[in-house]
Structure formats: C-alpha cells, structure tokens
Structure 1
C-alpha cells in the first residue's frame, strides 16, 4: 500500500528514515529549518521509496550493523540535487540521473549538502542472482552512466517513481521484480566488461559457467557432469574453477533454482500455478524433493511461504 510521510523537524526525520530502511544515524549539515518526506510502497521483498529532504547526512555505522538486520542492497537513483555516497573506501558523486548501489551489511555514509530528491530500491541481496562478493566490488561507484543498458534502465526507474502513487499489487509487485531484474542485468554487464579487462582466465571461466547455469536452470538434467561436457573440461577441473566461488557446482545450481522458485512463489500473478509446477519449472520435477530442499534452505515449506507473502 502506498504511504507518504512528511516531517518538519530533524528529530522526527531521524526516526522516520531508520524505520523506513535500516537503523541509521542522521545528522544535519547546516543550521536552519528542516523538512523531509518518504513516499512509496513495499512490493513483496522490494521496497520502492522516493525520498525528498533538506540537506543532511545519514550514516550506517559499525555499531548499527549489530542490530542483525537481514542482508539487503539499496539502489539509489538521484532525481534532483547532488549527494555523495561513501562505502568500502570508495566515494561517488550522486548526480541527477545516475545510479549507485550500496550494501546495508557494511558501514556507509550518504551526504547531501543541498535539497534533493532520490528514488531508493531496497531488496534482499540474493534477489540480484549475482555473487554478493562481486556486487560489493561495485558499491559506491556510478553504475551504467556510460553503458547502453544504463541509459535504458534509468528511464524505467524514473517512470516507476512517477507511477508509485497509482501502483497496486499484483502489478506493482511484478514491476518491482522487473526493476531488480534489469538492475541485475546491468550489473552483470558491468561485471562482464570489467572482467574482459582482467587477466585471470580461471575467473573469466567461472563467470561463463555461472552464466551457462543461469540459462539452463529449468533443465532437470543440468548437473556438474553435463556442465563439464558442455565446456570441454573434466569434472576435476570444473570443481577447481568453482572453488573460488565458495560453493560447489551442485550447491550453486540448487541455490539459483531455489531463488527462482521463491521469487515465483511470491509473485501474486502466479498464485494460480500449483506449487509443484513452480518447482518443476525450475528443475525440481519431484514435488516432495522440492518441498524438502526448499524447507531446508528457508526453514518453511513452499506452500507456507506462498501463504505468508
């Protein structure tokens, strides 16, 4: 449900911004009056919020990380005004029309020295479908400003911001998921371009195999053996390449399949599809086996997960 909250004091803002996102320490950057508003909706696991406020700074400090919040990424699309994002020893100027991503699991600072408006998407890290360690290499950097995909994603997000007051589930849920898909594609393209400049051939091979797995998740015959054959490598070599990811090949396949199943089960437009059919769609043809591995991964059955979304 769309909600808009407006405050006229900085004390009220400190409470509002922490409750809307994650616990944050807010501080003014100049004396004088303050006004701010947060408007948006929660679509499934994706929060889509438009933030408009007077100049100030927010910090996600080490002691606030101890609150135990689940791991999320936040995407910032600057709509007006300028700001600065700092994380992981990097900093980037936030200009209107530019994107930047940051990680709620590590300290960061957002500083705005003038009035501003920004669109913020907050979503679970797993939803991107990309290795978290690789995405973290791109925090606090301008994303896609020179990339053709970046020029396509930004207008979509601007339109999403304009539609927020009218969006309702289930369409809003689907659009929010589409936005994360587009972001994942953009980040994957940026990572691929960066990887082309790298000299580590084994790392490039890992990314190529992970991309192959993502394209063939629906094939129930997908397994380490079929992947090794498709890439003309031995099973031993395949497992060696995957060692740097921190997962076995089978773990990676299972995790990616379960992420797709969880996404479809949470989609209101797919509630008419039987749970077993969702599992089968993503390579789990045995409904009982699908239910067991889903419960093992998420602590809840597929049916119960769908019911609570």
Structure 2
C-alpha cells in the first residue's frame, strides 16, 4: 500500500524519518515552522520513499549504529534542491539528477541548507551482489548526468517512483528488484572505469572474478577449475586470490546462487515456477541439496520461505 505521512513540526519529522528508515539524529537548520512529507511503499524488503522537507541536517552516529540491526544501503536520487552527503571521508554534492549510495552500518551525515525533494531507495546489503569492499569505495560519490549510466538510470528510477501509488504489488516488487540490479550495474561500471593501480591489482582481480561468477551462476559446472581456466590462471592461484575474501571460491558461488534463488522465491511473478526449477535455473540441479543448503543459510526451507518471505526479515 502506498502511504503518505506529513509532519508539521521538526520533532514529529525526526520521529518519522527514524521509523521509516533507520534510527537517525536530526537538527533543524533554522528556527521557525517546519514541514515535511514522506510518501512511498515497502515492497517486501525494499523501500522506495519520496521525501519533501525543509532545511535540516541528518546524522547516523556510531552510537546509533552500535544498537545493531540489519545492514542496509540507501540510494538517494536528488529531485529538487541541493544536498551534501558525507561518509567514509568523502563529500558528495547532490544536485537535481544526481544519485549517491551510502551505508547505514557506517556513520554518515546529510546536510540540506534549503527545502529539498529526494527519492530514497533502501534495501538489505545482500541484494546488491557486490562485495562490501567494492561499495565502500563508492559511498558518498556523486554520480550525476555526466556519468554514462547514471544519466539514463536516474530518470528511470524517478519515473518508477512516480508510478508507485498505482502499481500493483507483484509488479512493484519486480520493478524494485530491477532498480537494485541497475544500481549494481552502475556501481560496477564505476569500479571498472577507474584507472588501474599497481597497488590494488589483487583486489581488482578478485572483483573481476566475482563478477564473472555472478554472470555464470546458471552454469552447473561453474567451479574453481572452470573459473581459473576462464581467467588463464592456476586453480591454486585462484584460491590464493580469494584468501583475501571472507568466503572461499565455492562459498561465494553458493552464496550468490542462494541469493538469486531467494529473490525468485520471493517474487510473486515467479509463483508458478516450481521450486526445483528455480534451483536448476541458478545451477543447483540437485533438489535435495538445494533444499538443504537453503535451509542452512536462511533458517527455512524453500517452500516455507516462498509462503512467507517476510518472515526472515522480521
């Protein structure tokens, strides 16, 4: 359901943004009357919110982060007015049409010196399909109309957000997932368009291999030997490269396959697709094995998860 909330005082607004997103500290930039408005929808575990408000400063402090909670990424698309996003030692000036990503698990500040309008997409970090190391290089980086992909993606996101009140839930959920996929592509393009540096070749090779895995998850023969051959290296070299990651090669493949299966199981438009077929679609051809590792990863069988995808998010 599309919901609209309005605040006629700053204290009301402060409570509203903390309950809509994650706990936040906020200060009014100038004294006097304040108005704010949030409209949007929660599509399973993805929220799309349109904010209109007066000048303010918003902070996600270490103390608030220490309270715990699921890690999320937030994508901000500036629609009107100007903002300044600070995270990880970087500053991003946000003008209309600019997009930027930030991480709720690390401190950040958003400054708005005048009235503004923004579109915010918030989603669990696991949906992005990029390593946290990749994303940490791109937080508080403004990607605007000068970017070859952002100039096309930003208007699409704004257009979808404008249709939220009328969209039916299954289509809205699919479109939300499409936006997350487009964002992943945009960020990957940013990573690979950066000049090579001799000090980070190892990390860049790890990213390249991870993206190769992502593109070939449906192949049931995808494994360390095949991946090493595709990158013209010995299998032991591949394992050495992954030693810097939190997962082994096989572990990364398994995690990304299970995440793809989980997305399909949660997608109402895939309700007609058999659970075994979903496993096969993502390279897990043994139904019993698929069910076993899915339960181990998410605490529910594929069939139970399909019946209530939101249960694991509560």
- Match of residue 312 from structure 2: none
SS at match of 2:243: helix
Judge conservation of contact 2:25–2:58 (CA < 8 Å) in 1: yes
Give the whole-Å Cα distance in 2 for the aligned partners of 1:236 and 1:203: 17
Structure-to-structure mapping, 1:20-99, within 5 angstroms: 20-99=20-99
- 5+ residue gaps, structure 1, are none
Query: Which sits farther off after the overlay, 155-164 or 118-127?
Result: 155-164
- Match of residue 110 from structure 2: 110
Q: Deviations over 1:242-296 (max 9, x none)?
A: 2222221101110111111111111110011111111111011111111111111
- 5+ residue gaps, structure 2, are 310-314
Structure-to-structure mapping, 1:1-309, within 5 angstroms: 1-194=1-194, 196-199=195-198, 200-309=200-309
Judge conservation of contact 1:144–1:190 (CA < 8 Å) in 2: no
Give the whole-Å Cα distance in 2 for the aligned partners of 1:145 and 1:300: 43
Q: CA deviation at 1:133?
A: 1.5
Q: CA deviation at 1:14?
A: 1.1
SS at match of 1:180: helix
Give the whole-Å Cα distance in 1 for the aligned partners of 2:114 and 2:106: 25
SS at match of 1:37: strand
SS at match of 1:219: coil
TM-score, normalised to structure 2, is 0.95
Judge conservation of contact 1:144–1:186 (CA < 8 Å) in 2: no
Give the whole-Å Cα distance in 1 for the aligned partners of 2:259 and 2:70: 16
Aligned pair count? 308
Query: Which sits farther off after the overlay, 113-122 or 285-294?
Result: 285-294
Q: Deviations over 1:119-153 (max 9, x none)?
A: 00000111111111210111111025422111110
SS at match of 2:149: helix
Give the whole-Å Cα distance in 2 for the aligned partners of 1:306 and 1:144: 38
Q: CA deviation at 1:40?
A: 0.4
SS at match of 2:167: coil
Give the whole-Å Cα distance in 2 for the aligned partners of 1:49 and 1:160: 11
Q: CA deviation at 1:197?
A: 2.7
Judge conservation of contact 1:56–1:112 (CA < 8 Å) in 2: yes
Give the whole-Å Cα distance in 1 for the aligned partners of 2:144 and 2:8: 35
Q: Deviations over 1:204-249 (max 9, x none)?
A: 3222222221121001111111112222211111111122222211
Q: CA deviation at 1:30?
A: 0.2
SS at match of 1:244: coil
Judge conservation of contact 1:82–1:96 (CA < 8 Å) in 2: yes
Query: Which sits farther off after the overlay, 44-53 or 206-215?
Result: 206-215
Distance 1:267 1:289, change over 3 A: same
Q: Deviations over 1:44-78 (max 9, x none)?
A: 21100000001111111111112211010000000
